[in-house]
Structure 1
């Protein structure tokens, strides 16, 4: 099982499917530590992080991707677990 915190391994659609399954399993664990455990809070955080992702990449000294890839989508889904 790959790390959910490192999304660099998510390179294909099949990888993303596996990643989402792992997120689902983590979400069900009481000790997951997710900030946004309800669907409405998770989706709101996903929207907010996606809107603010320029800052995320700027803070890391990385260019903002012109086109999303499977890894970026996984990163967005992961960030929504904790983004406030």
Structure 2
């Protein structure tokens, strides 16, 4: 099984298609290797999503990266909410 290097993949996301491919790769990784996921349930995943986002300043600081200032938060919220209903 070829393991996707997600950290490296993120560096190459420049379009909607790239993002869709990334999300699909995450889903496939969960299906093929659920034991590698710290948060394999939707409830755990969403909790980790909110917690990491709340604490993300520390991630950027600890990795000597600039904190992004142009994050389209409402767009992410739209994507997440639409995923609740979309078939």
| Distance in 1 separating the partners of 2:25 and 2:64 | 29
| Aligned positions, number | 70
TM-score in terms of structure 1 length: 0.73
Q: Indicate the structure (1 or 2) with the bigger Cα radius of gyration.
A: 2
**Bigger fraction of residues in helix:** 2
Q: Which residue of the partner structure matches residue 61 of structure 2?
A: 58
TM-score in terms of structure 2 length: 0.71
Whose relative contact order is higher, 1 or 2, with alpha carbons under 8 Å and at least 6 apart?
Answer: 1
Q: Which residue of the partner structure matches residue 5 of structure 1?
A: 7
Structure 1 unmatched runs, 5+:
74-84
Alignment counterpart, residue 24 of structure 1, candidates 23, 27, 36: 27
Structure 2 unmatched runs, 5+:
77-87
Q: Aligned Cα RMSD in Å?
A: 2.2
CA apart distance, 1:32 = 4.8
